[in-house]
Amino acid sequence: MFIPEVQPGNKWQHEEASVQMFRCMRKKNGLDKMIKDYGLNLDEDIVFIEELILGCNTSDSKWTARGRPENKSFLYEIVANKLNGIDVDKWDYLSRDCHYLGIPNGFDHQRLLKSARVCKVYGRNHICFRDKSVVRVSLFLSQVVDNIYGMFQTRYTLHRQALRHKIGYIIDVKINKALVKADDKLSPDRKISDAIDDMLEFTKLTDHIFDLDEARSILEDIVIRRLPKFVGEARLNENDLKEELKARLKEQPDKASRIQVYQEELQKQWREIITDNNPLNAEDFDIYVLDMGFGEVGKNPIDNVHFYSKNEPKKAFKLEKYQVSSLKPKRFHEYLVRVYYNKTDGSYQEVQHKAEESFHKWCKSNEFIDSEEEESVGELSENNQSSSVKIFNDPIHGHIELPHLLVKIIDAPQFQRLRHIKQLGTKYLVYPGATHTRFEHSLGMAYLAGSMIKVLQEEQQKALEKIKQDLIDEKDVLCVQIAALCYNLGHGPFSHLYEKLHREALKREACGSSGDGQQQAQSEEFRSEKWKVASFWMFLDIVEKNDELKQKLNEKDLLFINELIVGVDTADPEWPGKGRSEDKAFLYEIVINKWNGIDVHRWDYFARDCHHLGIPNSFDHQRMLKSAWVCKVNGRNHICFRDKVADKVYDMFQTQYTLYSQAYQHKIGNISQKKIIDALLEAKDKLPKISPIAVSKLQDDIERKIQRITGASSDTHEDDKHPTPREMREFAKLTDHIFEEILYSTDVGLEGARKKLEDVVKRRLPKCVGETRLIKRDKHAHKKALNQALQDNWNKAVDEWNKLHPTVFLDKKDFSTEVIQLDCTYSTGKNPIDNVYFYRKWNLTEAFKIKKYEVSSLLPEAFTEHVGRVYYTKNSDEEEKDAKECFHWWRRDKCKILVYDQEEFRGSEHLITGDCPSLDAYDIKEVQSCKVHRGFWMLYEGRDYSEAEYILQEKEEFHSPKDWGSRSNASVLSLKHVRK
């Protein structure tokens, strides 16, 4: 879309760029040597790889490919199949896009993949499929068998519902216009479009180009949803239009040029019908033509697909018409005509009815529009629906409805910013699917919060109907949903990484200043929650600029929303809430539950993160949500659950443990995170917007904002004298794009930070040599103290290892340690069910704690553990191997055994500190005597731990094989350390 507009006539395709990028990688990263090491031929195989990327039509009469001979033609149909479009590129994006978009996928590529076979077709080898994979079986019974038509139907569905969505399409058009405007203005010496000829520059061209300033007004329109309004859509009768325009189309051989001609002609016809329809102005409308179909224009998807039967697997054939379903479409491609109202000043509501009426009239009278007489023109478009809710298609919760007022918040630029902040920070560097953002998590939280409070509202209204008491009003529902929606607004780049950045910055500042260490620690702990304060500030900033929100929310509501975001301990003896009275304490347990950790925040991120990480989720939040009930506990209303869902509480926190152990605390993710933090700290003096904003400043400005919103202050606008609003506006521009901003910067002052980020990109990272559970520790020890103890113990182990192995030298400075905490509970060490109350079916008002005998006996005894990790700055593969051996030796409690190849401790003496499947490395053939210094050892008479075995205890000496129990006095050929 962009390149053809700024470089007319350039038929550049992304596949060509892929080939050029591959060549650049070979040159810059030394790939040719690695390719040779794998036994590939540079002259032949490189050509083959590039041909696979570009695609090669295997049906051409003359074989033109150079990478492989004609008898291997089928290989060109795997990556990019120019013959019939059935390839792994489609298979992957169909499955992946459906998965992440939440669109049902009726096509299973595995069935086609497993039936693939090479057969001769007109003397050339092609990939063919089993004939039974073609048709749908019992379509109306939804017993859909994967098939060719199903694959292309899924492609059409994706394009219709998502890739060419009417709003998504017009956003693409607007971004294209922004890029066109900025093409020659972003850099003084080159255009953006020039990057297609320079792969090093092309590498720097990522989504962060969205930040370019020259086209800011267009991009701001996108961010705040100031977009052209969709008027209507119709099918184009292309054959008739093509016949009408055939003279002009002769000069336009490619599809994009033909579409441009179609658009110009339809725009001309639209002007003719609009001239007599005041108050409409033809210049206020734009017409676009889109192509949509199953595959190649006008062709049946199976025209170029060959099949084989079970009885004759080597014979390829095409299917006859009677062999496939009669319910397939009559045509497989169409052009759509879309009309948009291009003015974004809010005037569309005034002309909407007339515009839609004119659109339908135009369709019915236009011979080039494929219209049916019986179609109704009286239906209102989505733009005219007076619904008070908006529907979002969420991959986790399906089609979710959010109130109109929440949509006002969502459309604000402060909220749209969350689209560019990854939910899991650096974990996308480990899990390719972990690219979801705080934006969709916020929508999910708002939906679940609304679902939870409505369940409570409906159930409590039934229970309290007789006494006419209303515990939950509509204002409560609105405030809870707003708090859930805005909970994440204050997150910085890479989510929780930014919090750790602040803590590290404060720690370094504290090291350079004097004062009470405890006071500094408390300050650090307080500031670690700064993002929640920032979330409320961002929310107030949205309210200040929206009259509808200002009118709807009073001061108590604003305080209530703040408390919901920060969290209130509903078990506090003295009621701490100011936004709502004590009888509404349970409302504070929906968004963030400080009492027992069961809240919609966890429910959404458990489900969402498992989905995107590809980790199975055994916890179903719907079961708990549906059983939620408000009961009195110690005189205060709390959310309780049915007794039968008690095991679900354990399932919930087991899912939390799994996510932390497998993803959130992944060793590569953590070390990458540390590198990025170090880079940002190094860059913060050069880029002041990275620097933290003091909580006290935020709190002061929050008070001023509340006063302005509620009318308590005579000031109606922000005072320019206060720096906080200015700093927060800069913070609002701070997203994950800061990574690329530093990585591709040419500023000398950012060189150190840039090198650290290059280490992350190129995987030049410390290696984890091992991890171990920390068992012997003080229960009350802080994680920092545990890490220091781990570091000290490891340093001693390295010293001992170096003494035991004179030819090896490991430098303690090359190692770092880390202690991570893994919880299967909401609070360190506690049973997750301790603060959860339940009710029984026959007594809804009596809350009780579940008894130990009422839950599974297979539950763990401890619910928190600490894991120690040792990282090594790799200098060579050999040193890394030594480091890992040292770690295993240390983890086995520094096991040692002296072995001799003769009895009575004579002959060659060798110290063994690890498993030894053979004695080859020690230049001895057998062990005839030994001294066990530390640990328990298993000795074997055969190599690789085979034949007779004997266990030896520590601190014992064995003068001959008879001493360890060998009746035949046979020597030992392998040995290993064992646990006691």
Task: Tell me, yes or no, whether 435 and 540 share the same domain.
Answer: yes
Task: Tell me, yes or no, whether 870 and 961 share the same domain.
Answer: no
Task: Tell me, yes or no, whether 35 and 45 share the same domain.
Answer: yes
Task: Tell me, yes or no, whether 580 and 448 share the same domain.
Answer: yes
Task: Tell me, yes or no, whether 225 and 107 share the same domain.
Answer: no
Please state, in angstroms and rounded to a whole number, the distance separating the CA atoms of residues 352 and 381: 9
pLDDT the model gives residue 330: 76
CATH value at residue 128 = 1.10.3210.10
* φ/ψ bin of 926: left (φ > 0), alpha (ψ from -120 to 50), beta (otherwise): beta
**592 inside domain:** yes
Task: Tell me, yes or no, whether 922 and 810 share the same domain.
Answer: no
Please state, in angstroms and rounded to a whole number, the distance separating the CA atoms of residues 675 and 679: 6
Residue 766 preceded by cis peptide, ω within 30: no
**845 inside domain:** no
Within 10 angstroms of residue 494's Cβ, the number of other Cβ atoms is: 27
SS3 at position 77: helix
DSSP state of 920: G
| DSSP-H helix ranges across 512-575 | 517-527, 530-544, 547-552, 555-566
**966 inside domain:** yes
Count of domains forming the chain:
5
pLDDT the model gives residue 468: 45
Task: Tell me, yes or no, whether 138 and 249 share the same domain.
Answer: no
Tens of pLDDT along 350-404?
A: 888 888 988 998 898 888 888 654 444 333 444 444 457 899 999 999 999 999 9
pLDDT the model gives residue 432: 94
Assess contact for 480 and 456: CB atoms under 8 A: no
- Which one has a higher pLDDT value, 273 or 208? 273
Tens of pLDDT along 922-944?
A: 889 999 999 999 999 999 999 99
Q: Give residue 977's identity as a one-letter amino acid code.
A: H
- Bridge-based pairing state of the strands 946-952 and 936-942: antiparallel
**157 inside domain:** no
**Residue 276 pLDDT level (bands cut at 50, 70, 90):** low
First to last CA, the chain: 68
Assess whether pLDDT exceeds 90 at residue 318: no
Please state, in angstroms and rounded to a whole number, the distance separating the CA atoms of residues 505 and 530: 14
Tens of pLDDT along 955-968?
A: 999 999 999 999 88
Assess whether pLDDT exceeds 90 at residue 849: yes
- Taking residues 227-239, what's their average pLDDT? 89
User: Mind giving me the DSSP string for 338-396?
Assistant: EEEE---SSTHHHHHHHHHHHHHHHHHH-TTB---TT--S-PPPGGG---SEEEEEETT
H or E segment at 773?
Answer: strand 767-773
Which of 845, 868, 890 is the C-terminal boundary of a domain? 890
CA-based R_g, the chain, Å: 34
**Residue 213 pLDDT level (bands cut at 50, 70, 90):** low
Compute the C-alpha angle 874/879/882, nearest 5°: 125
Q: Helix axis angle, 667-683 relative to 751-761, nearest 10°?
A: 160
Identify the top-confidence range among 157-166, 433-442, 821-830.
Answer: 433-442
H helix and E strand count, the chain? 33, 22
H or E segment at 822?
Answer: strand 815-823
CATH value at residue 271 = 3.30.70.2760
Tell me which residue of 866, 663, 890, 678 sits closest to 765, measured CA to CA.
678
- Taking residues 519-539, what's their average pLDDT? 70
Tell me which residue of 540, 536, 418 sits closest to 487, measured CA to CA.
536
Give the sign of the dihedral formed by CA 889, CA 891, CA 894, CA 896. Answer: negative
Tens of pLDDT along 726-780?
A: 888 888 889 999 999 999 988 999 999 999 999 999 999 999 999 999 875 556 5
Please state, in angstroms and rounded to a whole number, the distance separating the CA atoms of residues 876 and 879: 5
Task: Tell me, yes or no, whether 884 and 917 share the same domain.
Answer: no
Assess contact for 112 and 88: CB atoms under 8 A: no
Task: Tell me, yes or no, whether 583 and 673 share the same domain.
Answer: yes
Tell me which residue of 706, 693, 598, 715 sits closest to 652, measured CA to CA.
598
Please state, in angstroms and rounded to a whole number, the distance separating the CA atoms of residues 74 and 125: 6
- Which one has a higher pLDDT value, 669 or 350? 669
Which of 841, 874, 890 is the C-terminal boundary of a domain? 890
Assess contact for 351 and 277: CB atoms under 8 A: no
Token code pair at residue 286: 């734009």
Please state, in angstroms and rounded to a whole number, the distance separating the CA atoms of residues 68 and 76: 9
Within 10 angstroms of residue 570's Cβ, the number of other Cβ atoms is: 24
Task: Tell me, yes or no, whether 630 and 652 share the same domain.
Answer: yes
pLDDT the model gives residue 957: 95
Tens of pLDDT along 172-192?
A: 888 888 888 888 776 767 788
- Bridge-based pairing state of the strands 636-642 and 838-840: parallel
**760 inside domain:** no
Task: Tell me, yes or no, whether 269 and 289 share the same domain.
Answer: yes
Domain holding 774, by residue range, is 767-824+860-890
- List all residues 6 or more positions away from 394 whose beta carbon is below 8 Å from its beta carbon: 102, 400, 440, 443, 444, 447
**250 inside domain:** yes
Which of 97, 118, 152 is the C-terminal boundary of a domain? 152
pLDDT the model gives residue 333: 84
Please state, in angstroms and rounded to a whole number, the distance separating the CA atoms of residues 212 and 178: 9
pLDDT the model gives residue 378: 39
pLDDT the model gives residue 525: 43
Mean pLDDT of the chain: 86
- Taking residues 307-328, what's their average pLDDT? 81
pTM above 0.85, yes or no: yes
Please state, in angstroms and rounded to a whole number, the distance separating the CA atoms of residues 6 and 195: 13
| DSSP-H helix ranges across 190-235 | 199-203, 216-223
**562 inside domain:** yes
Within 10 angstroms of residue 372's Cβ, the number of other Cβ atoms is: 8
Tell me which residue of 275, 250, 461, 256 sits closest to 358, measured CA to CA.
275
DSSP state of 187: B
Within 10 angstroms of residue 327's Cβ, the number of other Cβ atoms is: 10
Please state, in angstroms and rounded to a whole number, the distance separating the CA atoms of residues 517 and 506: 12
- Taking residues 708-712, what's their average pLDDT? 85
- Taking residues 56-69, what's their average pLDDT? 91
Token code pair at residue 252: 């336009």
Task: Tell me, yes or no, whether 586 and 617 share the same domain.
Answer: yes
* φ/ψ bin of 947: left (φ > 0), alpha (ψ from -120 to 50), beta (otherwise): left
**286 inside domain:** yes
**Residue 139 pLDDT level (bands cut at 50, 70, 90):** very low
- Which one has a higher pLDDT value, 685 or 516? 685
Q: How large a percentage of the chain has pLDDT more than 90?
A: 51
